[in-house]
Amino acid sequence: MSRPVTATIHTDAMRHNLASIRARAPSSRVMAMVKADGYGHGLETAASALREADAFGVAAIDDARRIRALGLVQPVLVLSGFDSTADLEQLRELDADSIVHHAAQLEMLEQAQGAPIRCWLKIDTGMHRLGFAPEAVREAHARLCAARGAAGNIVLMSHFASSDEFEGVSPDSRQTREQLQVFADATAGLPGPRSLANSAAVLGWPGSHGDWVRPGGALYGMSVVAGRTAADFGLQPAMTFATRLLAVNRIAKGEHIGYSATWETPEDMCIGVAAVGYGDGYPRHAPAGTPVLVNGSPTQVVGRVSMDLATIDLRGHPDARAGDPVVLWGDGLPIESVAQASGTIAYELTCSITRRVRFLEA
């Protein structure tokens, strides 16, 4: 038999989520983040569904090429930037924008031959990953303005570390307030558009929206805010990850299920064996109690998830039979609840789906 594991991508949900983000940030343009293969949903599927976005954000030049191959003509921002003249040539060929986050890139743009590249100057306002330190911003900006390899109208941007701690809601929203202040001070008086907000900031920090918002997870109907699902924000899940039961077995009380015998049957009961495992990207660390739906109604994983199979508690599902549908997340089961049970975030789950899973569009 072929494996029944599917990831169904709800392109209408993505369009709904884009419209919902526009309504929340009505004065900003929207850059749809489609890095990591559209957060695991498929870059081509995601970018096509989101073709009304004002721009796209990708991690690498190869992804910019895939966007252009779809015939999409809006700006594409390469988040990792460039580190060679060959990269610069490809950026020009693809008419792609680049992040500039390091002094070595300024030098390359000063010496560059050929058409100028549109630049997004990345400022490290406290996350301490990529970007120029606040005190280095004015000099970097002046050098970029003068560099023959850089186009005018440089975008000033930064990224938040903790914007999921909402203003006025979370007791711990200090870091985002500080990052906003550092950004305002570092860029005061400089011309050019501003861009700071990821999904959580679009939802919870309206004062941060600026000229460009850069949502990712929210477009796919995923929440990063602890204890809240995407539905709490009016967003719709863009992926349903599903499979079928391969077997339903009656197991006596006191037996142990699966590798390392981690779960003991508390009574005589039925165990469903679902055709899904970590070989498909279902998390091996999903513990007993992780929610799933069988025939649309809730139950839980029991025992250890293996490569091809997962075992499911069928108490309360007396009619379940081999072949019945199992939803792992998506339609009727918020991915956030699976992520929380598994000790991760929804983003990691969708990014972890493997190549043997069949992708469908709905």
Ligand X SMILES: *Cc1c(COP(=O)(O)O)cnc(C)c1O
CA distances from 8 to 47, 146, 351 (A): 16, 48, 14
Indicate the DSSP class of residue 154.
P
The size of the interface with ligand X (CB under 6 A), counted in residues, is: 13
Q: Which is nearer to ligand X, 158 or 240 (CB)?
A: 158
Q: Catalytic: which of 35, 39, 278, 282?
A: 35
The encoded tokens of residue 91 equal 């950026």
* Least Cβ distance, residue 130 to ligand X (angstroms): 8
3-class DSSP state for residue 76? strand
Residue placing its CB nearer to ligand X in the complex, 3 or 15: 15
Does 194 bind ligand X (CB under 6 A)? Our answer is no
CB of 288 to ligand X, least distance (A): 30
Q: Which of 21, 33, 309, 339 touches ligand X by CB under 6 A?
A: 33
Asked whether position 101 contacts ligand X by CB under 6 A, the answer is no
Distances (CA, A) of 68 to 33, 95, 197: 15, 9, 25
Question: Is 228 among the annotated ligand-binding positions?
Answer: no
Q: Applying CB under 6 A, which of residues 176, 199, 223, 350 lies at the interface with ligand X? A: 199
In the region spanning residues 280 to 319, those forming contacts with ligand X, defined by CB under 6 A, are none
Question: Are 295 and 323 in contact, with CB atoms under 8 Å apart?
Answer: no
Least Cα distance to 69 among 41, 49, 48 occurs for 48
Q: For residue 194, which phi and psi values (nearest 5 degrees)? A: -115, 145
If one asks whether residue 126 binds ligand X (CB under 6 A), the answer comes out as no
CB closer to ligand X out of 157 and 292: 157
Closest distance of CB 99 from ligand X, Å: 8
Active-site entry in 39, 122, 259, 282: 259
**Other beta carbons within 10 Å of 3:** 16
- List the interface residues with ligand X, window 205-244 (CB under 6 A): 214-218, 224
Binder among 98, 125, 173, 198 for ligand X (CB under 6 A):
198
Torsion of CA 6, 12, 17, 18, to 10 degrees: 120
* Least Cβ distance, residue 57 to ligand X (angstroms): 6
Q: Does 79 bind ligand X (CB under 6 A)?
A: yes
Q: Is 259 a catalytic residue?
A: yes
Stretch that binds ligand X, among 4-12, 89-97, 192-200, 314-322 (CB under 6 A): 192-200
Q: Which is nearer to ligand X, 25 or 246 (CB)?
A: 25
Choose between 88 and 123: whose C-beta lies nearer to ligand X. 123
Distance CA 12, CA 4 (A): 23
Token couple for 305: 């998830």
Q: Min. distance of Cβ 79 from ligand X in angstroms?
A: 5
- The C-alpha atoms of residue 64 and residue 92 are separated, in whole angstroms, by 11
Backbone angles phi, psi at 325, to 5 degrees: -75, 140
Instruction: State which residue has the least CB distance to ligand X.
Output: 216
Which of 352, 341, 357, 268 lies closest to 301, judged by CA? 341
131-170: contacts with ligand X (CB under 6 A): 159
Q: Is 330 in the site for ligand X (CB under 6 A)?
A: no
Please, what is the end-to-end C-alpha distance for the chain in angstroms?
24
Does 143 carry a binding-site annotation? no
CB of 124 to ligand X, least distance (A): 12
The first and second tokens of residue 338, run together, are: 């699976």
The amino acid present at 205, given as its one-letter code, is: W
Angstrom distances, CA of residue 57 to CA of 18, 83, 279: 14, 18, 29
Q: Is 35 annotated in the active site?
A: yes
Q: Which residues bind ligand X (CB under 6 A)?
A: 33, 35, 79, 159, 198-200, 214-218, 224
Binding residues, as ranges, are 129, 307
Binding residues for substrate, as ranges, are 129, 307
Which residues are designated catalytic? 35, 259
